[in-house]
Amino acid sequence: MKDGVNGVALAVFIFFFLAVTIIGFMASRWRKAENEASLDEWGLGGRSFGTWVTWFLLGGDLYTAYTFVAVPAAIYAAGAAGFFAVPYTILVYPLIFTFLPRLWSVSHKHGYVTTSDFVRGRFGSKGLSLAVALTGILATMPYIALQLVGIQAVLDVMGVGGGETTHWFIKDLPLLIAFAVLAAYTYSSGLRAPALIAFVKDGLIYLVIAVAIIYIPIKLGGFDDIFAKASEAFAQPNPATGQPRGSLVPGDMGQWGYATLALGSALALFMYPHSITATLSSRSREVIRRNTTILPLYSLMLGLLALLGFMAIAAGIKVDNGQLAIPQLFETMFPDWFAGVAFAAIGIGALVPAAIMSIAAANLFTRNIYKDFIKPDATPAQETRVSKLVSLFVKVGALLFVLTMDKTVAINFQLLGGIWILQTMPALVGGLFTRWFHRWALIAGWAVGMLYGTVAAYGVASPTQKHFGGSSKEIPGIGEIGYIGLTAFVLNLVVVVVLTFVLNAMKAPAGVDETSPSDYTADVGDPGVKAELPPATAGAPGGH
Amino acid sequence: MPEETDAKPPTVTPMRVVIAVCLIAPFVAMLWVSSYAKVEPTFIGIPFFYWYQMLWVLISTALTMIAYKLWQRDQRSRKGGASA
């Protein structure tokens, strides 16, 4: 498929990329803040976004290169198993509906910007807060890596990536350029950049999806033909293993894996620092619940995009690296100029979430590591500077994941992050509902979960790499194959519960809880709730 | 398990049970994989496995919306005219 550079597609791609970059830089002037140097301002956009901007923002970081590249690629490679992403995104919303309004309330009452802030306030434990912060930063890196893989896949198909034989630097050069642009405008504009770009991006994405799911199936002769061909292709035994390549429906063996991946991913999603950032950016507690009634629209898109994996098979696309399947399908099926638009949608669709994710991780570091442990008396200007630097560092970490790990199953990047972030759930979600858990038990449970999850994931081999080759493994005691993240989480929870009994019996000091029950249900207008940071964004209220 | 922290009026009301059912139903439906792991009946050529789950996107959206409306009503009746 290395038949030279696709000039037209590349030109269109670059046009959109430049447009977005310019918007990114201009965004820093949009609804300009009075006090730009404050971390709240750079990292949370003044927390003044209403329903629609929040909707775009959430969509912008929840539906990403994961949606466009990784999920269809998983379907292309193995069939039904990759479709777990749909139940995953279905289950996310009831969870958000239940958990996040409480987090919004307590955060706005006490001025928490991160999950670690909350955990420290709730359990009076800096150690637990540190554990949550470190986990959030670590787990975000492979997720950002997934986005970079998405951009790289697009560049590869356009022919700018170079072949397997070219020098590694030339091969990765486009990736490094994309990375640099991302870093530059995130650095200068903060969360405002992704919010504005999200409008451009979502417009492009809707357009491309609409065209892709109508035009491609018609050209391929309808879904009957598509699934007939896919079924045929999946039945072919893989020459390496002698097993069929995949199936249209998960067999008995795969059902535990399917369900645990869906549930584990759903539980993990809203605990990522970037999901929390987006949630806290919303204007009121009610906005969050209202969003859960409109956000599922994105899930429908995800399902339809996932089916592109089958269409790639039906269209006879043959790639060694599954991540290239969809970009290659677009290039084959679309006229060059529209392929360029589609590639721009994928590229920018990867860029925006990567920016949001790195900002969120940077906030975590600054608030909960830098200020708590390194320089408690840091000025707001210093905080902002550290945040900006760390957001760069996190992106470099992600780049390392991309350069060192196997990219052919990119969905594993996200699942690996999920294994880690899930281990913060007992402290975070548990803490939102009860103060019964003991802080030391939570730390112990977290450590056990992290250790088990990492060791188990390290031990999974795939045909292409010896370690971190997958995210599912036999569940001890049940004997079925399941998502490691969920197994580790259950283990974590068991440790927490048992140790809490022990520690409470021993009367171990429980730490100070600075929150009170009514803080968890407070909304805008209730006494003490900091609904907004001062003016800055005053033009906004009522405007949405 | 919607929020059940307000202690004064009864914590579990029929309305809250309905809200809980709306929020839990998608979990039962989606995690019970064997109930939908089949090809037939197909819909415009798409195997049951795929269109059924996509149908559930719509169903769960509707359920969440119902839960949201009921929750708003629940909160209004609870707060009375207390805070604005």
Greatest alpha-carbon pair distance for chain A in Å reads 71
pLDDT digits (tens, 9 = 90+) for A116-164: 889 988 998 889 999 999 999 999 998 888 888 888 888 888 877 655 5
Q: What pLDDT shows up at residue B53?
A: 92
Q: What is the mean pLDDT of residues A285-290?
A: 80
pLDDT band at A464 (very low <50, low <70, confident <90, very high): low
Residues of chain B with a CB closer than 8 angstroms to some CB in chain A:
1-3, 5-6, 22-24, 26-27, 30-34, 37-39, 42, 44-47, 49-50, 53-54, 56-58, 60-61, 63-65, 67-68, 71-72, 83-84
pLDDT digits (tens, 9 = 90+) for A311-330: 888 888 888 777 888 888 89
Q: pLDDT at residue A275 above 70?
A: yes
Q: pLDDT at residue A447 above 50?
A: yes
Q: What is the mean pLDDT of residues A285-297?
A: 77
Query: B42: which residues sit within 8 A by CB, 6+ positions away?
Result: A224, A227, B48, B51
The DSSP 8-state label assigned to residue A237 in this structure reads B
Dihedral (CA of A200, A203, A206, A208) sign: negative
Beta strands, E only, B1-84: none
- Model pTM above 0.90: no
Separation of alpha carbons A148 and A143, rounded Å: 9
Q: pLDDT at residue A280 above 90?
A: no
Question: Which residue reads 């449970």 in tokens?
Answer: A445
B22 chain-A contacts, CB cut-off 8 A: 94
Nearest residue, CB atoms, A521 vs list B5, B44, B53: B5
Separation of alpha carbons A400 and A403, rounded Å: 5
Which one, of A190, A149, A137, A191, lies nearest residue A393 by Cα? A137
Separation of alpha carbons A48 and A54, rounded Å: 9
Q: pLDDT at residue A208 above 80?
A: yes
pLDDT band at A192 (very low <50, low <70, confident <90, very high): low
Nearest residue, CB atoms, B30 vs list A90, A248, A304: A90
Dihedral (CA of A167, A173, A175, A179) sign: positive
Q: Please, where are the H alpha helices in A111-191?
A: 115-123, 126-157, 168-189
Q: pLDDT at residue A520 above 80?
A: yes
Q: pLDDT at residue A439 above 50?
A: yes
Q: Mutation test of the interface with chain B: which of A249, A308, A515, A529, choosing the one with the most B Cβ atoms within 10 A?
A: A249
Query: B71: which residues sit within 8 A by CB, 6+ positions away?
Result: A289, B2, B19
Are residues B2 and A98, on separate chains, in Cβ contact within 8 Å? Answer: yes
Q: How far is residue A179 from each of residues A28, A63, A152, A344, measured CA to CA in Å?
A: 19, 19, 10, 15
Cβ atoms of A487 and A473 within 8 Å: the answer is yes
Region for A32 from its dihedrals, namely left if φ exceeds 0, alpha if ψ lies in -120 to 50, beta otherwise: beta
Q: What pLDDT shows up at residue A512?
A: 80
Q: What pLDDT shows up at residue A37?
A: 53
Q: What is the mean pLDDT of residues A510-525?
A: 78
Mean pLDDT of all residues in chain B? 81
Separation of alpha carbons A274 and B44, rounded Å: 38
Cβ atoms of A315 and A333 within 8 Å: the answer is yes
Q: What pLDDT shows up at residue A56?
A: 62
Q: What is the mean pLDDT of residues B23-51?
A: 88
Query: A180: which residues sit within 8 A by CB, 6+ positions away?
Result: none
Region for A379 from its dihedrals, namely left if φ exceeds 0, alpha if ψ lies in -120 to 50, beta otherwise: beta
Segments making up each domain of chain A, as ranges: 7-238+248-424
pLDDT band at A534 (very low <50, low <70, confident <90, very high): very low
Query: A259: which residues sit within 8 A by CB, 6+ positions away?
Result: A87, B30, B31, B32, B33
Separation of alpha carbons A91 and A266, rounded Å: 6
Mean pLDDT of all residues in chain A? 79
Q: Cα distance from A494 to chain B (closest Cα, Å)?
A: 20
Segments making up each domain of chain B, as ranges: 33-78
What phi, psi does A247 have (nearest 5°)?
Answer: -150, 160
Percent of chain B residues topping a pLDDT of 90: 27
Burial of B70 (0-12, 13-18, 19+ CB in 10 A): middle
pLDDT band at A385 (very low <50, low <70, confident <90, very high): confident
CA B40, distance to chain mean position in Å, is 27
Q: What pLDDT shows up at residue A169?
A: 65
Structure tokens given for A535: 């003016």
Helices A380-404 and A336-365, packing angle to 10 deg: 130
Q: How far is residue A161 from each of residues A113, A149, A170, A182, measured CA to CA in Å?
A: 39, 12, 7, 18
Separation of alpha carbons A307 and A193, rounded Å: 31
Give the residue, A350 or A51, on which the prediction is more confident.
A350
**Residue in chain B lying closest to A252 (CA):** B34
Are residues A90 and B60, on separate chains, in Cβ contact within 8 Å? Answer: yes
pLDDT digits (tens, 9 = 90+) for A85-122: 899 989 988 998 888 888 988 888 888 888 888 998 89
pLDDT digits (tens, 9 = 90+) for A251-266: 777 788 889 989 999 9
Are residues B54 and A87, on separate chains, in Cβ contact within 8 Å? Answer: no
Q: Cα distance from B49 to chain A (closest Cα, Å)?
A: 7
Cβ atoms of B32 and A253 within 8 Å: the answer is no
Burial of A392 (0-12, 13-18, 19+ CB in 10 A): middle
Separation of alpha carbons A254 and A482, rounded Å: 9
pLDDT band at A1 (very low <50, low <70, confident <90, very high): very low
Is CATH 1.20.1730.10 what the domain over A7-238+248-424 is classified as, yes or no? yes
Q: What pLDDT shows up at residue A175?
A: 72
Q: What pLDDT shows up at residue B83?
A: 45
Are residues B33 and A307, on separate chains, in Cβ contact within 8 Å? Answer: no
Q: What is the mean pLDDT of residues A187-207?
A: 69
Q: How far is residue A117 from each of residues A95, A232, A424, measured CA to CA in Å?
A: 21, 53, 13
Q: What pLDDT shows up at residue A416?
A: 87
Dihedral (CA of A155, A157, A160, A162) sign: positive
Q: What pLDDT shows up at residue A51?
A: 57
Cβ atoms of A468 and A460 within 8 Å: the answer is yes
Q: Mutation test of the interface with chain B: which of A51, A71, A98, choosing the one with the most B Cβ atoms within 10 A?
A: A98
